[in-house]
Structure 1
């Protein structure tokens, strides 16, 4: 009879099974004899004993398996630790690793979010990293507090306050980058939040880059009044949530900041003239009227960079205001306009029609591609006129998602013969199509535009200067859709443009009056665009062209 003895078991089985004999007995119609009954009874006793032994054996084997699994886990942890010793980051010099940590910590340090303190996260990785983090005050110099994220706290007020105090201690005397956000007025903040503001205000002599997203009442509160005259290091100030109220008291806590050069705000009526405007070099305004922009620029004689962000709604107070003559500002070398919901281009036209920046080198205009302007007919001519009136030598031009045709863009580029960097992101619209009723069509960045910008070496005419002959850096953003062959044609045209301006032989480049491209970037939006379509530029990358292709690639 076959035995039921298991291999490598610690006990000897008492049973053996004869399946044939058992089947024969089950088929009998008569009862069992006395010896059969005795045999079966003994078998059952032996089988029960074997079952218990098997169960015991299983428990022993399971214990061994658990032991093996624990050993495996231990080995894996040890292997991971060994691999970490060989990780490339451990080969970095401490100076480089410190810079990596600084960049990481500067990106997101929002208090009020769970574990929202990157320096703490880094210091918990290893003893070495903790030592490096604690010995680098700059890591602890960025504090971003969002009180709206702390409303769900129970009794953790002391914890957050203590954490901020600990960060201030670890940052030592390093200058602070500080951001405070609250959607509530000062009277609705918790007592612990106000104490936190007071703690930070007491460190105002270390403030360097500050963003306060607080209402005017909060800025007038006594908790911030202590910073008046205590801002020796403040260089950049951003104020949000400021609104104009009749007879509202002036906010004068920032009037004495000897190093302040950069200011960003929305409504500025409550501040004028309580900032040291005459020392500002960078100014960003949001949703101000054209008159307010002019008035502020007049009191900022050292202004170098001007940024306007807003909806460009027609100004209610001065809907038709324009100066008697073009205003010229002889220090502005960078002008940026960002539209968010353009319904009226009066403000845009006013700026380009009545402002002149002779030293201007960088012009950047971007629109929200989800909400493009309704009326752009006069904009291209106005921009070209602005460049002409300024008599400037633009070296950088960026036009993103504006409702401009390729002809419009070319008219602007013809006014920029000194351009070295060009960024063009086209806008899209949908047209009815027989095959696909909702086909996204590019506007602005087209095959025709690419052909005009390409250099035709075979038909070179010394008497005719190519468009933007000094171009060195180029970035195109366009929408690709595989439903139409036009998408593939556009990519091919852009590649030919790049190829035509790849002129590494300086003597040949000088002969035809075109500078060799150094950097090209394609930002692809849409779907089903293949990386292989950019084979020619990718080949040029092998011989020195800096190329980046990003976006929707398959």
Structure 2
């Protein structure tokens, strides 16, 4: 008999005793003995069985030899193929770009980190160590990769350092390997600007903060800090080494506090940062600080009222973009009689987290004439969500866009409960939209789903007298993430076909005159259903003609 897959001859054993036969033989061994325990006929039968078993063993051993030869040949074949690998022909510049993407973050951790939800240790152990230290892994592959990694300080400049403060583990002897690795990265990064994320925690609030050795080593290079992110149990000002920082290269600061506010003294540590342009705080600052707000062009803040947002905008006159989240203990909306106008803001991200919508504080109270990018998303896990979905402020949003007279080109909405009519109404006031992303991740049983047949139909251009009417006529890219089971596949395919015009064709020229732009990128992802390959075959043809199409379901990527 031969294997149907590999064609190798399958060995059929000549001896195959059943469990019952084995049990009988064991019983004879235990209970029967003496010169006449086995009669001659039974003895001859056993000898023939032994001879057959010997032949089975010989056949299996020969097969083992063949398998070893096969493994040896496969290893040799892999070696020969690696010589012809396309990776070897890549120029160093291209290879370095790949390394920079892979080696963006290196995690150094000197203690078992416990997840507060699962209370399970996440201590770094192989092979996780390789994944957490990609630069070390890349530099260990071959001489070429090592030489390239050692000559590229940027690969060593992205560090996440996690330290635990206790009365026992801050001794130099226990931290020798950790500090040696940290110094290795700091040395090999040379003069390259550092991207740092520091997490310092203590096992109890009663312990007086001890100066972490790792922080002392990092502050020696504070003149190279380009990005600094801090999260931890204690304040930054609890550490003497941070009392007089000089950060001439710092452009991005992110402070994530475990407390109810961000201490102004923590921000004061970065007073001398002439290049600071981006600031992210997960809590409302406690008091006024000396940080150079006037330099910021991006802010990521928590607010508790529209007045708090207005204060941020006044404090940061150079702001071009901001991200907002509503504080848990927020005050009632304080709406201005006349909405304030801020002409320099081009990008806004609003994160919804509580029952009261942060959007309700922004849309009625402000105007942003230069706004191009708007993203509204729901934060948190299903367990952390409010008891009911937050209503989409449809009228306030339409008034906001019309009042601002802005040309929004990118609109993203994720996990927000709104109806298809609300979304269609919102899209009608954004005719300049180029990029649209809708993620209807379901987190509440009463949540509304905007991705319906009416929405798909409204996105399909239709002829009306002498003109072509379509929602979002200039759409270039569409990204849908569908968290449901009922989807109108054929209508979606038809809509995409109606928006694709092969460059140079008569249809392309005709639709250019009517104002309907050719769609260039489509991404459709299903999280709860498979992709019907037959239905989506027409999109595969469009993909071959030049349209970028990606359709993904629970059965994997199909297009």
| Both proteins in one fold, TM over 0.5 | yes
Matches within 5 A, 1:44-443: 76-112=74-110, 113-114=124-125, 115=129, 116-147=132-163, 156-184=174-202, 188=207, 194-215=212-233, 217-227=235-245, 230-241=246-257, 243-244=259-260, 249=265, 251-270=267-286, 272-286=288-302, 288-310=304-326, 313=328, 315=330, 318-339=331-352, 341-345=353-357, 347-368=358-379, 370=382, 371=385, 374=388, 376-377=390-391, 379-428=393-442, 443=449
Contact 1:527 1:552 in 2 (8 A): yes
- 1:430–1:103 distance in 2 versus 1, CA, 3 Å: closer
Q: Are 1:450 and 2:456 counterparts? A: yes
- 1:130–1:27 distance in 2 versus 1, CA, 3 Å: closer
CA offset at residue 248 of structure 1?
Answer: 7.1
Contact 1:473 1:518 in 2 (8 A): yes
CA offset at residue 104 of structure 1?
Answer: 0.8
Counterpart CA distance in 1 for 2:479 and 2:142 is 42
Counterpart CA distance in 1 for 2:536 and 2:410 is 25
CA offset at residue 218 of structure 1?
Answer: 3.1
Q: Where does residue 489 of structure 2 map in the other structure?
A: 491
Q: Are 1:549 and 2:555 counterparts? A: no
Q: Where does residue 119 of structure 2 map in the other structure?
A: none
CA offset at residue 103 of structure 1?
Answer: 1.0
Counterpart CA distance in 1 for 2:448 and 2:392 is 21
Counterpart CA distance in 2 for 1:76 and 1:271 is 67
Contact 1:266 1:286 in 2 (8 A): yes
Q: What does the per-residue CA deviation read over 1:429-467, in whole Å, with 9 as the maximum and x for residues that have no partner?
A: 898xxxxxxxx99710001111111112xx333467432
CA offset at residue 213 of structure 1?
Answer: 0.8
Counterpart CA distance in 2 for 1:334 and 1:239 is 21
- 1:65–1:518 distance in 2 versus 1, CA, 3 Å: closer
- Residue 212 of structure 2 aligns to a residue whose secondary structure is helix
Counterpart CA distance in 2 for 1:27 and 1:335 is 95
- Residue 280 of structure 2 aligns to a residue whose secondary structure is strand
- 1:446–1:373 distance in 2 versus 1, CA, 3 Å: farther
Q: What does the per-residue CA deviation read over 1:481-522, in whole Å, with 9 as the maximum and x for residues that have no partner?
A: 2xxxxx25x122211211111233332113332111111111
CA offset at residue 324 of structure 1?
Answer: 3.5
CA offset at residue 152 of structure 1?
Answer: 8.6
Counterpart CA distance in 1 for 2:106 and 2:250 is 21
Counterpart CA distance in 2 for 1:395 and 1:331 is 16
- Residue 527 of structure 1 aligns to a residue whose secondary structure is coil
Contact 2:165 2:209 in 1 (8 A): no
Contact 2:373 2:408 in 1 (8 A): yes
CA offset at residue 540 of structure 1?
Answer: 1.1
Contact 1:327 1:354 in 2 (8 A): yes
CA offset at residue 305 of structure 1?
Answer: 1.1
**Aligned residues: CA RMSD:** 3.6
User: Which residue among 500, 521, 533 is the counterpart of 2:498?
Assistant: 500
Contact 1:384 1:412 in 2 (8 A): yes
- 1:281–1:414 distance in 2 versus 1, CA, 3 Å: same
* Structure exhibiting the larger radius of gyration computed from Cα positions: 1
- 1:531–1:281 distance in 2 versus 1, CA, 3 Å: farther
Counterpart CA distance in 1 for 2:243 and 2:484 is 55
CA offset at residue 412 of structure 1?
Answer: 0.5
Matched residues, number: 479
Q: What does the per-residue CA deviation read over 1:128-183, in whole Å, with 9 as the maximum and x for residues that have no partner?
A: 22121111111111111122599999954111011111111111111100011123
Runs of at least 5 residues in structure 2 that lack an aligned partner in the other structure = 1-35, 42-46, 111-123
Runs of at least 5 residues in structure 1 that lack an aligned partner in the other structure = 1-22, 29-46, 432-439, 482-486
Contact 2:306 2:365 in 1 (8 A): no
Contact 1:201 1:226 in 2 (8 A): no
Q: What does the per-residue CA deviation read over 1:68-96, in whole Å, with 9 as the maximum and x for residues that have no partner?
A: 98877665544433332222221211111
Counterpart CA distance in 1 for 2:373 and 2:40 is 101
Contact 1:251 1:270 in 2 (8 A): no
CA offset at residue 67 of structure 1?
Answer: 9.5
CA offset at residue 476 of structure 1?
Answer: 1.6
Q: What does the per-residue CA deviation read over 1:505-554, in whole Å, with 9 as the maximum and x for residues that have no partner?
A: 33211333211111111121212332333222222111111111124236
Counterpart CA distance in 1 for 2:233 and 2:95 is 39
